[in-house]
Amino acid sequence: MELGETALEAAVRETKEEVGVTPTGLEEVGVMYFHFLDGYKLHVTVFAASGCHGQLVESDEATPIWTDVNRIPYHEMWQDDPYWMPLLLKRNKFRGYFVFDGEQLLSHDVRK
């Protein structure tokens, strides 16, 4: 988040910057806390969008694709994604806690 920016404003801006589309109809559905053994910590607010406008573009952050929800390539994504993304897709409110050592997920706790 940038100074003076809300989580919602940051979500819209970051999505536009990283994948080229502007999300619409945003609803907050989750909060996640990440702890890395090197001391780095993240607090993330998760939003679901009902739509978007614009065209997908590749960036240093992502190579975006549209895919059927039954074919989400979890094996190519962060190890925490399978634990919370199904809840996001169903619009179930959740809170997740994840511990990583580098890119290795060590523990997780996701609560509805």
Instruction: Identify the pLDDT of residue 91.
Output: 97
Instruction: Identify the pLDDT of residue 103.
Output: 95
Token pair for 66 = 């549209």
Token pair for 6 = 């809300």
Please indicate, yes or no, whether the overall pTM of this predicted structure exceeds 0.85.
yes
Instruction: Identify the pLDDT of residue 86.
Output: 97
Q: Which residues does the chain have with pLDDT short of 50?
A: none
Which of 94, 110, 84, 103 is CA-nearest to residue 40? 103
Instruction: Identify the pLDDT of residue 88.
Output: 97
Instruction: Identify the pLDDT of residue 51.
Output: 96
CB 64 within 8 A of CB 54: no
pLDDT tens for each residue of 79-109: 999 999 999 999 999 999 999 999 999 999 9
List of domains in the chain: 7-107 (3.90.79.10)
Strands 104-111 and 41-48: unpaired
Q: Is the torsion defined by CA of 76, 17, 30, 69 positive or negative?
A: negative
